Amino acid sequence: QLSLQAEKARLELNENPDVLHQDIQQVRDMIITRPDIGFLRTDDAFILRFLRARKFHQTDAFRLLAQYFQYRQLNLDMFKNFKADDPGIKRALIDGFPGVLEKRDHYGRKILLLFAANWDQSRNSFTDILRAILLSLEVLIEDQELQINGFILIIDWSNFSFKQASKLTPSILKLAIEGLQDSFPARFGGVHFVNQPWYIHALYTLIKPFLKDKTRKRESFLPSFKNNATTHFPWFYRISILW
């Protein structure tokens, strides 16, 4: 299994065990160029996940590493008591934000599933849901196979009301995009929206300018989860509890 993963990392990510230490050190050497950022972790294993997320392009990997810590510096309140027992994070996790499927897809990717209508706005702020998702990803990305294989995100908008959608302001959606797309060392192989009402399409047009071309190409909009689960998601199994 490890040899298969190593071969996949070589073919898809340009990972070369013979020069791995040098690649990591090149990224580490760039830290001096950003004295404005506090790099709180610089060990080999940590830097490696950024290299894998950027297919071993050292400059891109360093840029992602810098954005990771800069995002945390700019949003200090989000990362206070950044643990599963934080009351806000705990409530979001209990409510299924995110759900993590037990089975991986046929590419070995982990599936995160969000049922948007489960957002009880009297219990959970959007920020706490985002914190719970980021914390879950922090735990999952410790798995080296997931660093190589990546993730799939499915958001089911069934029964998500206009009133709920009114809380999704462009500013908080931008915060989520910055945290997930621009600042986290994970490979997202696809983002699937299912059963989305017209007002979600309208919101999407507002946030589209913040999405990278690569992200847009990996998005899909499906009219019905039930009708598409077997065709598009044959690996759909029950949700596991991460915590």
The reported pLDDT for the residue numbered 207 is: 82
**CATH number 2.40.160 is the correct assignment for the domain at 2-74:** no
The reported pLDDT for the residue numbered 43 is: 98
Q: What's 82-240's CATH class?
A: alpha beta
The reported pLDDT for the residue numbered 185 is: 98
Token pair, residue 25, equals 């050190």
pLDDT tens-digit profile, the chain (243 residues): 558 899 999 999 999 999 999 999 999 999 999 999 999 999 999 999 999 999 999 999 999 999 999 999 999 999 999 999 999 999 999 999 999 999 999 999 999 999 999 999 999 999 999 999 999 999 999 999 999 999 999 999 999 999 999 999 989 999 999 999 999 999 999 889 999 999 998 988 888 887 777 765 655 555 554 444 444 444 443 444 444
Q: DSSP H helical segments within 100-207, as ranges?
A: 126-140, 144-149, 162-165, 170-177, 198-207
Domain parsing of the chain, residue ranges: 2-74, 82-240
The reported pLDDT for the residue numbered 126 is: 97
Q: Distance between CA atoms of 49 and 90, rounded to whole angstroms? A: 26
The reported pLDDT for the residue numbered 139 is: 98
Phi, psi torsion values for 242, nearest 5 degrees: -75, -30
The reported pLDDT for the residue numbered 50 is: 99
**78 contacts: CB under 8 Å, gap ≥ 6:** 72, 127, 130, 131
